[in-house]
């Protein structure tokens, strides 16, 4: 495994994002909606860096990967979604790769008639997007590698790491 982003770099960037997001949503009815399970570490840090009152909630977006790095069929589960009608929603995910997950989440949440929907991803993989949508906020652009840590998994391992590492072919 190769270290790509150190813990202190993540913390600095997440704080800067928190400030940017706070400025945009001051006086609004913000709800941050994280996509489980990868959102957990990023969301916990980001919401503490947002200094305007807001609600938090989660949805589950899974593209079954198992022990592969190829995305499988995408499903969105809204059972845990709080009421977002008329509220300003910020969808949060760990990584924007092809963008299909984020696009599907935006479409699903728009049906609940929020006042606005924006998106934030900690990481954006360069040159991989298959959709028109671009995240409104992101932490870091990274090259096309399979990464783990800070919420991101490989076959459900490594999510707890406080930094981001890239898996080499030999690790897969
Ligand atoms: P997308 O739909 O291709 O943008 O992929 C988004 C989802 O795939 C993310 O929510 C992650 O769960 C997962 N994913 C994409 N790339 C990686 C990676 O490099 N490491 C771990 N998970 C990834
Ligand atoms: Mg995942």
In the chain, what percentage of residues exceed pLDDT 90? 88
Pocket residue to mutate for ligand 1, from 95, 98, 129, 155, most atoms within 8 A of Cβ: 95
Closest ligand to residue 153's CA: 1
Measured in angstroms, how far is the CA atom of residue 27 from the centroid of ligand 1?
33
Mean pLDDT, residues 88-102: 97
pLDDT at 57 over 70: yes
Residue 132, C-beta contacts closer than 8 angstroms, at least 6 positions apart: none
Q: Is the CB of 151 under 6 A from ligand 1?
A: no
Task: Name which CATH class applies to 2-171.
Answer: alpha beta
Q: What is the pLDDT of residue 63?
A: 77
pLDDT at 71 over 70: no
pLDDT band at 66 (very low <50, low <70, confident <90, very high): low
pLDDT band at 72 (very low <50, low <70, confident <90, very high): confident
pLDDT at 65 over 80: no
């Amino acid at each position: 495994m190769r270290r790509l982003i150190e813990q202190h770099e993540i913390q600095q960037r997440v704080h800067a994002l928190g400030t940017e997001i706070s400025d945009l949503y001051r006086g609004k009815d913000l709800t941050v909606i994280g996509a489980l399970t990868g959102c957990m570490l990023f969301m916990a840090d980001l919401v503490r860096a947002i200094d305007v009152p807001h609600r938090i909630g989660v949805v589950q977006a899974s593209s079954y990967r198992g022990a592969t790095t190829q995305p499988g069929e995408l499903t969105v589960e809204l059972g845990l979604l709080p009421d977002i009608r008329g509220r300003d929603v910020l969808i949060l995910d760990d990584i924007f790769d092809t963008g299909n997950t984020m696009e599907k989440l935006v479409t699903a949440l728009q049906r609940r008639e929020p006042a606005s929907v924006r998106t934030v991803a900690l990481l954006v993989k360069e040159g991989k997007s298959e959709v028109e949508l671009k995240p409104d906020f992101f932490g870091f652009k990274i090259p096309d590698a399979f990464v783990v840590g800070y919420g991101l998994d490989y076959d459900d391992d490594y999510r707890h790491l406080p930094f981001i590492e890239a898996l080499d072919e030999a690790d897969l």
